[in-house]
């Protein structure tokens, strides 16, 4: 199946928006299954972030999952590179794993990579992140919500700029994007045209219009997912599963985003 390359990573770039017919803010859906990826495409999303184990915040998906999503979906596909749950300070061995996972994701048809590395101080690890950005080229890199764990967002934004990443996924340092609206709005303004600020964290159909209108962000990230009770209670001890997305709920979210870009319209 043919897929759309992510050759212009900045969604506010007018050429990008004309080429991909994007007038409303771009919608990125985070998924951890083939079924949910299909639903994201059927519902009108523009891009997928693929991971495994959403309930831990996401970790690197297997090669099998990447290959199957690429086979079934022609949306731009960005793959999360995170070797384990927990903090974002990685050992030398974990760093080597990340390198190999990037190469595998590229081989399997990824259009972009999502990652983030911090120093023990909590600041952006510019040198290591830059090394991974260079390994990923010419594909774009999103610096994920490790950004929200940094002690100084102004300093962190400039550090991400130095790494060569083109996008920052962030809730504005708050538990969710709705709470972090003021910081998100400031980051969008500060990032200007050299970085895309991608609001994420607890964004739903009910609050996406307010978040977009108040932050002026041109992209938005959501998983729209919740836990699914185990049918077999004996298996519950092994962890919760993500409920697969339905195309209708993705379409409803996309419609809310489109309405937010057209003042005077309501759902």
Whether the pLDDT of residue 235 is over 70: the answer is no
CA–CA dist 80, 38 (Å, integer): 18
Q: What is the pLDDT of residues 6-56, one digit of tens each?
A: 434 444 444 444 444 457 899 999 999 999 999 999 999 999 999 999 989
Q: Say which residue the tokens 């690197």 belong to.
A: 60
CA–CA dist 88, 82 (Å, integer): 8
Among 21-25, 66-70, 89-93, name the one with the lowest average pLDDT. Answer: 21-25
137 band by pLDDT with thresholds 50, 70 and 90: very high
Residue 233: per-residue pLDDT: 56
Residue 23: per-residue pLDDT: 73
Length of the chain in terms of residues written: 267
Among 38-47, 71-80, 238-247, name the one with the lowest average pLDDT. Answer: 238-247
**32: which residues sit within 8 A by CB, 6+ positions away?**
50, 51, 52, 53, 54, 58, 61, 65, 242
Whether the pLDDT of residue 194 is over 90: the answer is no
Residues 195-211, mean pLDDT to the nearest whole number: 97
Q: What integer best gives the mean pLDDT of the chain?
A: 89
Residues 95-100, mean pLDDT to the nearest whole number: 98
CA–CA dist 107, 158 (Å, integer): 31
Q: What is the pLDDT of residues 173-188, one digit of tens each?
A: 999 999 999 999 999 9
Report the percent of the chain where pLDDT is more than 90.
79
Report the percent of the chain where pLDDT is more than 70.
84
Residues 196-218, mean pLDDT to the nearest whole number: 97
DSSP 201: S
- φ, ψ at 21 (rounded to 5°): 55, 45
263 band by pLDDT with thresholds 50, 70 and 90: low
Residues 155-177, mean pLDDT to the nearest whole number: 97
- Both ends of the chain: CA-CA distance in Å? 34
Whether the pLDDT of residue 74 is over 70: the answer is yes
Q: What is the CATH number of domain 24-228?
A: 3.20.20.380
Whether the pLDDT of residue 100 is over 60: the answer is yes
* Helix runs in the chain, H state only: 14-19, 34-42, 63-72, 92-107, 126-136, 153-163, 181-191, 208-215, 247-260
Residue 192: per-residue pLDDT: 85
Task: Count CB atoms within 10 A of the CB of residue 261.
Answer: 14
Residues 128-132, mean pLDDT to the nearest whole number: 98
DSSP 118: B
Residues 237-242, mean pLDDT to the nearest whole number: 59
Strand 227-228 to strand 219-222: parallel, antiparallel, or no bridges (unpaired)?
unpaired
**Is the separation of the CB atoms in 7 and 79 below 8 Å?**
no
**Where do the domains of the chain lie?**
24-228
Residue 242: per-residue pLDDT: 72
């Amino acid at each position: 199946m043919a897929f759309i390359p992510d050759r212009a990573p900045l969604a506010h770039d007018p050429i990008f928006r004309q080429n991909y017919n994007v007038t409303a803010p771009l919608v990125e859906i985070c998924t951890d299954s083939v079924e949910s990826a299909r639903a994201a495409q059927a519902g009108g999303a523009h891009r997928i972030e693929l991971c495994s184990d959403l309930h831990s915040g996401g970790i690197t998906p297997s090669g099998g999952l990447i290959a199957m999503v690429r086979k079934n979906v022609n949306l731009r596909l960005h793959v999360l590179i995170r070797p384990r749950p927990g903090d974002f300070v990685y050992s030398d061995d974990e760093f080597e794993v990340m390198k190999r996972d990037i190469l595998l994701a590229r081989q399997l048809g990824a259009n972009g990579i999502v990652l983030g590395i911090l120093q023990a101080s909590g600041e952006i690890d510019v040198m290591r992140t830059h090394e991974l950005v260079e390994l990923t080229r010419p594909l774009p890199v999103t610096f994920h919500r490790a950004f929200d764990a940094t002690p100084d967002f102004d300093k962190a934004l400039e550090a991400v700029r130095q790494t060569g990443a083109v996008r920052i996924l962030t809730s504005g340092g708050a538990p969710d994007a709705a709470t972090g609206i003021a910081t998100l709005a400031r980051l969008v303004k500060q990032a200007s045209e050299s970085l895309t600020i991608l609001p994420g964290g607890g964004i739903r159909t009910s609050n996406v219009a307010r978040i977009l209108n108040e932050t002026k962000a041109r992209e938005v990230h959501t998983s729209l997912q919740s836990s699914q009770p185990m049918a077999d209670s004996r298996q519950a001890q092994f962890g919760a599963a993500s409920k697969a997305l339905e195309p209708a709920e993705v379409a409803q979210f996309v419609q809310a985003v489109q309405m937010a870009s057209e003042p005077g319209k309501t759902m």
